[in-house]
Amino acid sequence: MTHLLTSLFQTMFNMIKTTLLFFVTALAEIIGCVLPTLWLKRDGSAWLLVPAALSLAMFVWLLTLHPAASGRVYAAYGGVYVMTALLWLRWIDGVKLSTYDWVGAAVAFSGMLIIVAGWGRA
């Protein structure tokens, strides 16, 4: 029984750690893409490309920190990216999200949890 509880605790800890890492990764990707958009479409300074490049480099590096095969990492990350992008749209861009947006984000996020729960069990 103790082994089962320890295993369950370890799985939950790994899922929380992975989820938080994916959210940081998604923010790095979004910021790395938003800054060039500000430069190209909103007459921002070309200097915005410097932090954009750094942010995208950080995004790539963060994806390498996961122990699973890269295909699984990308698939699981996609679920968190969907949720993060919609939260960005709501909180940063001020766009009201529909019920479909929220349900879609929940489904995508649930998919990530299922994939991460299976890491190391294949």
CA distance 66 to 119: 10
| Residue pLDDT tens, the chain, 122 long | 787 788 788 888 888 999 999 999 999 999 999 999 999 999 999 999 999 999 999 999 998 898 777 888 899 999 999 999 999 999 999 999 999 999 999 999 999 999 888 887 76
Distance CA 117, CA 26 (A): 20
Confidence at residue 3, expressed as pLDDT on a 0 to 100 scale: 79
30 neighbors 88 (Cβ within 8 angstroms): yes
pTM of the entire predicted model = 0.88
CB contact at 8 A, 87 and 79: no
Cβ-based neighbour number of residue 114 at 10 Å: 11
